[in-house]
A and B are shown apart, each in its own frame.
Chain A
Amino acid sequence: MTSGSIFAVFDPAGPYAGSITTLAWVLIAMFVAVLAVVIAALWIALRGSGRLKARLGGTRAIWIGGIGFPVVVLTALLVYGLTLTRHLTAPMPQDAMRVRITGEMWWWRVAYLDPSGRPFMLDANELHIPAGRPVLLELESNDVIHSFWVPRLSGKLDMVPGRRNTLPIQADGPGVFAGQCAEYCGGPHALMGFVVIAHEPAAFDRMMAARRAPRPVPDERGRQLFRSTGCAACHRIAGTEANGMAGPDLTHVGSRRSLGAGILPNNRGTLAGWIGDSQAIKPGNRMPPYKTLSAADLQALAAYLEARK
Chain B
Amino acid sequence: MKSETGFDPALYARFPTPGERPEGELEELERIWCAPRGWQLLTAVNNNYIGFFYVAAAFLFFLLAGILALVMRVQLALPLQGVLPQDTYNQFFTMHGTVMMFLFAVPMVEAIGVLLLPQMLAARDLPFPRLSAYAFWAYFVGGLCFFTSLFFGLAPDGGWFMYPPYTSITYSPGINADFWLLGIGFIEISAIAGAIEIVVGVLRTRAPGMTLDKMPIYAWAMLVFGVMIIIAFPSVILGTLLLELERAFNWPFFDPTRGGDALLWQHLFWFFGHPEVYIIFLPASGLVSMMVATMTRTPLVGHYLIVLAFLATGFISFGVWAHHMFTTGMPNLSIGFFSAASMAVSVPAGIQVFSWIATFAVGKPRYNVPTLFLLGGIVTFVIGGLTGVMVAMVPFDWQAHDSYFIVAHLHHVLIGGMVFPMFAAFYYWTPMTSSRALSEQLGKWAFWLMFTGMQVTFWPMHLVGLMGMPRRVYTYLPGREWEVINMISTVGAFTLAAGVLAFLIDVARNFRFTTDSDAGNVYGGGTLEWLPTGLYSTRSIPVVKSREPLWDDPKLAEDVEAGRYFLPGSATGLRETIITSPLRAEPQYLQIMPGPSAWPFLGAVFTAGFFILLTVQAYIPSFACGILAVICVLRWLWDTDRLVKEPDVDVGAGIRLPTYVTGPDSHGWWAMMILLIVVGMIFVMGVFSFFYLYGVQPRFWVAPADLWSLAMVLPAYGAASGLAWLARYMLAREATELWTPGVLFLCGAIALATGIGADLWSWIASGLRPDASGQGATVYALLGLEAMLAAIGLLMAGYISARNSRGMIVRPHNNSLDLCVLWVIYTAGQGALTAVLTRAVGG
CB distance from A21 to the nearest CB of B (A): 8
Task: Kindly supply a per-residue 1/0 record for chain A positions 69-88, scoring 1 wherever the CB is within 8 Å of any chain B CB and 0 otherwise.
Answer: 11100100110111011101
Beyond contacts A42-B378, A65-B354, A155-B399: 17 other A-B pairs, Cβ-Cβ < 8 A, are A6-B481, A45-B365, A57-B358, A62-B354, A66-B302, A66-B352, A70-B350, A74-B346, A78-B393, A84-B395, A86-B332, A149-B468, A151-B467, A163-B329, A181-B470, A187-B86, A188-B86
Interface range on chain A (Cβ under 8 Å from partner):
35 or more
Most buried by A among B332, B340, B395, B399: B395
B99 lies within 8 A of chain A by Cβ: no
Q: Which residues of B contact A156 (CB under 8 A)?
A: 327, 398-399, 401-402
Q: Is A184 a contact of B471 with CB atoms below 8 Å? A: yes
Question: 3 nearest interchain CB pairs?
Answer: A155-B398, A162-B256, A66-B354
Docked pose: A256 CA to B394 CA in angstroms: 34
Contacts of B347 in A (CB 8 A): 66-67, 70-71, 74
Which parts of B710-769 form the interface with A (CB within 8 Å)? Answer: none
Q: Mark each residue of chain A from 189 to 215: 1 if its CB lies under 8 Å from any CB of chain B, else 0.
A: 111010000000000000000000000
Kindly provide the distance from the CB of A120 to the nearest chain B CB, expressed in whole angstroms: 25
Q: List 5 A-B contacts (CB under 8 A).
A: A19-B395, A59-B305, A145-B163, A151-B468, A157-B329
Whole-angstrom CA separation of A277 from B216 in the bound complex: 66
- From 175 to 192 in chain A, residues with beta carbon under 8 angstroms from any chain B beta carbon are 178-191
Report B474 CB to chain A, min CB distance, Å: 5
Contacting pair A66 B360 (CB below 8 A)? no
B261 within 8 A of A: yes
How far does the alpha carbon of A38 sit from the alpha carbon of B377 in the complex, in Å? 13
The answer, among A56, A161, A186, A263, for a CB contact under 8 Å with B256, is A161
A56 touches B166 (CB 8 A): no
> A62 to chain B: which residues have CB within 8 Å?
301-302, 305, 351, 354-355, 358
**A58 with B362: in contact, given A8-B466, A144-B171, A163-B329 (CB under 8 Å)?**
yes
Given A7-B467, A74-B389, A147-B327, A184–B399 Cβ distance below 8 Å? no
Contacts of A59 in B (CB 8 A): 301-302, 305, 358
Q: Collect the chain B residues with CB atoms within 8 Å of residue A147's CB.
A: 327, 402
Residue of A nearest to B470 (CB): A182
Which of A9, A46, A58, A162 contacts B261 (CB under 8 A)?
Answer: A162
A238 within 8 A of B: no
Q: Assuming A35-B386, A62-B305, A147-B402, is B166 touching A180 (CB within 8 A)? A: no
Residues of A within 8 A of B343 (CB): 74, 77-78
Q: Does B276 contact A (CB under 8 A)?
A: no
Query: How far is it, in angstroms, between the C-alpha of A88 and the C-alpha of B344 when the chains are bound?
Result: 23
**B335 close to A (CB within 8 Å):** yes
A61 near B90: Cβ-Cβ < 8 Å? no
Inter-chain CA distance A220–B51, complex, in Å, is 77
Given A147-B327, A160-B263, decide whether A190 and B358 contact each other with a Cβ distance below 8 A: no
For B393, what are the chain A residues with a Cβ–Cβ distance below 8 Å? 23, 27, 77-78, 80-81
Q: A9-B399, A23-B395 are in contact. Are A78 and B339 (CB under 8 A)?
A: yes
Contact residues in A for B394 (Cβ distance below 8 Å): 81-82, 84-85
Distance in angstroms from A259 CB to nearest chain B CB is 13
Determine if B361 and A45 form an interchain contact, defined as CB atoms under 8 angstroms apart.
Answer: yes
CA distance A178 to B392 in the complex (A): 26
Does the CB pair A190–B476 fall under 8 Å? yes
- Number of cross-chain contacts by CB at 8 Å: 256
A229 at the interface (CB under 8 A from B): no
Contact count band on B: 35 or more
Asked whether any CB of chain A lies closer than 8 Å to the CB of B442, the reply is no
Chain B residues with a Cβ under 8 A of chain A: 85-87, 90, 157-159, 163, 165-166, 171-172, 256-257, 261-263, 301-302, 305, 327-329, 332, 335-336, 339-340, 343-344, 346-347, 350-355, 357-362, 365, 375, 378-379, 382-383, 386-387, 389-390, 392-399, 401-403, 466-468, 470-477, 479-481
The residue in chain A whose Cβ has the minimal distance to the Cβ of B474 is A190
> Is there an interface contact between B379 and A39, defined as CB atoms closer than 8 Å?
yes
Instruction: State the Cβ distance, A8 to closest chain B Cβ, in Å.
Output: 4
Q: Does B256 lie within 8 Å of A23, measured CB to CB?
A: no
Highest count of chain B CB atoms <10 Å: which of A17, A44, A183: A183
Interface residues of A (CB under 8 A from B): 1, 6-10, 17, 19-20, 23-24, 27-28, 30-31, 34-35, 38-39, 41-42, 44-46, 48, 53-54, 56-59, 61-62, 65-67, 69-71, 74, 77-78, 80-82, 84-86, 88-89, 105, 139, 143-145, 147, 149, 151, 154-158, 160-163, 165-166, 178-191, 193, 263, 283-284
Q: A61-B357, A283-B85 are in contact. Are A143 and B171 (CB under 8 A)?
A: yes
* Contact across chains for A9 and B389 when beta carbons are under 8 A apart: no
Q: Beyond A8-B468, A158-B327, is A61–B474 a contact (Cβ under 8 Å)? A: no
Q: From B166, B387, B468, give the contact of A186 (CB < 8 A).
A: B166
**B90–A186 contact, CB under 8 A?**
yes
Chain B min CB distance to A261 (Å): 11
Q: Which residues of A contact B399 (CB under 8 A)?
A: 9, 17, 20, 24, 151, 155-156
Report whether A9 and B395 are in contact in the complex, using a CB–CB cutoff of 8 Å: no
CB neighbours (8 Å) of B163 from chain A are: 144-145, 183-184
CB-defined contacts of A31 to chain B, threshold 8 Å? 386-387, 390
- Contact yes or no, B398 A20, CB < 8 A: yes
Chain B residues within an 8 Å CB radius of A85 = 332, 335-336, 339, 394-395
Cβ distance B478 to chain A, nearest Cβ, rounded Å:
10
Contact status A66-B353, CB under 8 Å: yes
A234 to nearest B CB, angstroms?
18
Among residues of A, the one whose C-beta sits closest to the C-beta of B382 is A38
Considering only CB atoms, which chain B residue lies closest to A44 in the complex?
B361
Q: Which residues of chain A are within 8 angstroms of B353 by Cβ–Cβ distance?
A: 38, 66
